Amino acid sequence: MRPLIRLDVSVIAEQGERRESGNAGGGGRYALARLLQREAWQKFADEAVRQALVNLEAVDAPAGFMTVVLGPGWPGVLLHEAIGHGLEGDFHRKGISAFSGRMGERIATEHCTVVDDGTLVDRRGSLSIDDEGTPGARNVLIENGRLTGLMQDKLNARAMGVAPTGNGRRESFAHLPMPRMTNTYMLPGEHPPEEIIASVDDGVYAANFNGGEVDITSGKFVFVASEAYRIKNGKLGPALKGVTLIGNGPDVLTRVAMVGKDLELDSGVGVCGKEGQGIPVGVGQPTLRIDGLTVGGTQ
């Protein structure tokens, strides 16, 4: 028995000719009754409305290479795309990951420790056992900036002469298992989030995201902000629309200059797609300052 529930709220706000959307939701491996309580669903509805109203005021985003601060929680989709997929065992067996052959090397600043943890209680990506019978586990992928672990299913682990890690997952009985993530997140650092924003002269604060995508081999990843703001002289400015961020997986965590102490996990909405198979996953992170990502606005 592996319960999984989810509630999504999607709203459209209109003002004059302008129309913007807002989305929120959550869920996990628990009973439906929890989401049917008013305080549970009301907060998603409020959040979706708030986001749509923020976007109604949003201005065109800048274009170019700049400092980016990522908010806590769901923006951890950065780790999932930029790092996580590149550390799945099948890509290493085949030698086609941008991280192939780099075990033990420094791939991030020393502030960064990233884990994939299937053992968290009630989380969307959690597994008591994976889809091949291996117990779910907490695997440290990056420890103080060094690459320390990969995620494996049975087949790839056997082919590479290592132990399976509890990451063998499949969409359904009609799909083949593959190495997949569970809940992937970065451990917290020392800085209060306000201090991180205050440290930026000119940049972008990306508070929340839609989804992302990565090319495993070149390491290039993209993710799209659903709520973002300009930062000028350490202060949040106007809301921005149409912020797409693009970066290079092996490079991005070497640009992490500050890690917040505000670790949050996402509310439980993630679906990861790989080779046509969709599975539930979780992500999380504290507020992060990244010194250099390409921001794809129009201005």
Note the residues at the interface with another protein (CB under 8 A): 12, 14, 18-21, 61, 63-65, 94-96, 98, 174, 176, 210-218, 220-224, 241-244, 246-248, 294-299
Smallest distance, another protein to C-beta of residue 168, A: 15
Least gap, CB of 120 to another protein (angstroms): 26
As measured in angstroms, the least distance from the Cβ of 206 to another protein is 13
Give the nearer residue to another protein in terms of CB position, either 115 or 157. Answer: 157
Shortest separation between residue 166's beta carbon and another protein, angstroms: 23
Q: Which is nearer to another protein, 211 or 234 (CB)?
A: 211
| CA atoms of 20 and 3, how far apart (whole Å) | 34
DSSP string over 178-234: EE--SEEEEPP-SB-HHHHHHT-SEEEEEEEEEEEEE-TTT-EEEEEEEEEEEEETT
Q: Which one, 22 or 71, has the nearer CB to another protein?
A: 22
Q: What is the largest CA-CA distance in the chain?
A: 63
Which is nearer to another protein, 21 or 128 (by Cβ)?
21
Q: What is the rounded distance in angstroms from the CA atom of residue 254 to the CA atom of residue 49?
A: 36
Q: How far is the CB of 100 from another protein (least distance, A)?
A: 8
Q: Which is nearer to another protein, 56 or 140 (CB)?
A: 56
